[in-house]
Structure 1
């Protein structure tokens, strides 16, 4: 799952498919990398041409569509701003935890009634097993990875104030973005493995010495996109479809609370 900056992720024999879900219609590209038998699904989170702001992304439709297609493992890319001195412009980072500051987004598939109720376990929101494969891929292609970051997810589409950034830093946040939640939560509810590769595209408000712009983010993502595409291709080259983690048990306790 990604968007701007991943133009270098080239699928062979690609086709576009439209999936109708209970939450809306989703369009994806399905194809292969060289030598791979298993198909790869690419989803542009913000729609073709980046037409959807983060607070209006149909996260439930997106994850439901991937489930309908049989996807079990999701690698998501995200542009993030740095809140920590160890994370510099152009760095690539694996997320470990998140802090949720979104406000208006549906966060669950389980809203009672026939669906039941699910209090999904988020002890490990980002799959450690999938991250281990990404780490091996990074070593193989010479892409250094920063690890163990806490992602602060804000509502958007505005950037944050310096006061908010100081608060996030006090709470332990190291990078800030607008898309990981509820995407990671919904994937967990569907029993999917999910990992986020963050691209540090800017310093946050109050840290940067210039006004923040969306154009700055786009330029930075395109500069890092080729490296991330290489990392993703190597990850899928060595990734196995079997789940060897607890992610698949994410919805096993529906209705038991």
Structure 2
């Protein structure tokens, strides 16, 4: 089965609009069940796979996502390129609500997650090079596609991956800023590392839903505003993906 690209949709992206010849592929893996059935379809004649990270009904919190099963199921289908779409908070001044970014670095602040395929008895221990956590080739292709499609994206930035599901305190965001983080989200890890273990090309489209705590002008974070910002930013994703597949 030839699949040109897989998308893992985050908060606000539970279905990929405009898919043709849609099939649902329910599977199991040695690591348990994926978050949901994988949706297979075509965009402009190119075959893609789509998986809702939190399930189509957003029933799985970030720290309970079976990241290993998700990546294994996509790999088992023959996928070689994966784009993770992640809802994030903005820390850097140019990372405000509704901005799309393609980060190039990540810092992992999560804990108690199953972070490796080596975490089972008898598995090969793999020491991956994670100096550059995202595929340079896929990042370049995403940026070029954005330019062709007229979709504004920020090139680069450091994603701070936190545990969730709660949002962060002002002090925690101040620490992330001191550490060099430009964005904060809850699902960037271990997804990126697991993709590297499977030798998949992996990159992230970060959708900024809100200013992180203590950033911007807002006194507090409003959930209705978060969802409105995500809805607006998410509309750019099919345009960007279409350009990526057509380029």
TM over 0.5: yes
Q: 41-50 or 226-235: which moved more?
A: 226-235
CA contact (8 A) 1:5 1:224 kept: no
CA contact (8 A) 1:78 1:179 kept: yes
Alignment counterpart, residue 157 of structure 2, candidates 131, 149, 152 = 149
Does residue 192 of the first structure (1) align with residue 200 of the second (2)? Answer: yes
CA contact (8 A) 1:109 1:189 kept: yes
Question: Matched residue of 2:96: which SS?
Answer: coil
Match of 1:5 in 2: 12
Shift of 1:4: 4.1
What value does the CA root-mean-square deviation take over the aligned residues? 1.4
Alignment counterpart, residue 45 of structure 1, candidates 48, 53, 61 = 53
Match of 2:126 in 1: 118
The 1:8–1:190 alpha-carbon spacing in structure 2 relative to 1, beyond 3 Å, is closer
State how far apart, in whole Å, the 2-side matches of 1:50 and 1:229 are: 20
Question: Matched residue of 2:181: which SS?
Answer: coil
Match of 1:169 in 2: 177
Does residue 211 of the first structure (1) align with residue 220 of the second (2)? Answer: yes
**What TM-score results when the alignment is normalised by the length of structure 2?**
0.91
State how far apart, in whole Å, the 2-side matches of 1:4 and 1:108 are: 23
State how far apart, in whole Å, the 2-side matches of 1:205 and 1:4 are: 19
Match of 2:231 in 1: 222
The 1:159–1:23 alpha-carbon spacing in structure 2 relative to 1, beyond 3 Å, is same
State how far apart, in whole Å, the 1-side matches of 2:141 and 2:131 are: 20
State how far apart, in whole Å, the 2-side matches of 1:180 and 1:168 are: 15
1:235-255 Cα deviation digits (max 9, x unpaired): 1222xxxxxxxxxxxxxxxxx
The 1:83–1:133 alpha-carbon spacing in structure 2 relative to 1, beyond 3 Å, is same
Shift of 1:112: 6.4
Work out the number of aligned pairs and report it: 236
1:191-244 Cα deviation digits (max 9, x unpaired): 000000011110011124232244332221111111122101211222xxxxxx
Shift of 1:135: 1.1
State how far apart, in whole Å, the 1-side matches of 2:30 and 2:227 are: 32
1:110-155 Cα deviation digits (max 9, x unpaired): 1365312111110111111001111111111101211120000000
Unaligned stretches of 5+ residues in structure 2: 1-7
Match of 1:132 in 2: 140
The 1:4–1:113 alpha-carbon spacing in structure 2 relative to 1, beyond 3 Å, is closer
Q: 226-235 or 176-185: which moved more?
A: 226-235
State how far apart, in whole Å, the 2-side matches of 1:228 and 1:33 are: 13
Does residue 63 of the first structure (1) align with residue 55 of the second (2)? Answer: no
State how far apart, in whole Å, the 2-side matches of 1:148 and 1:105 are: 26
State how far apart, in whole Å, the 1-side matches of 2:145 and 2:156 are: 17
Unaligned stretches of 5+ residues in structure 1: 239-257
State how far apart, in whole Å, the 2-side matches of 1:47 and 1:100 are: 23
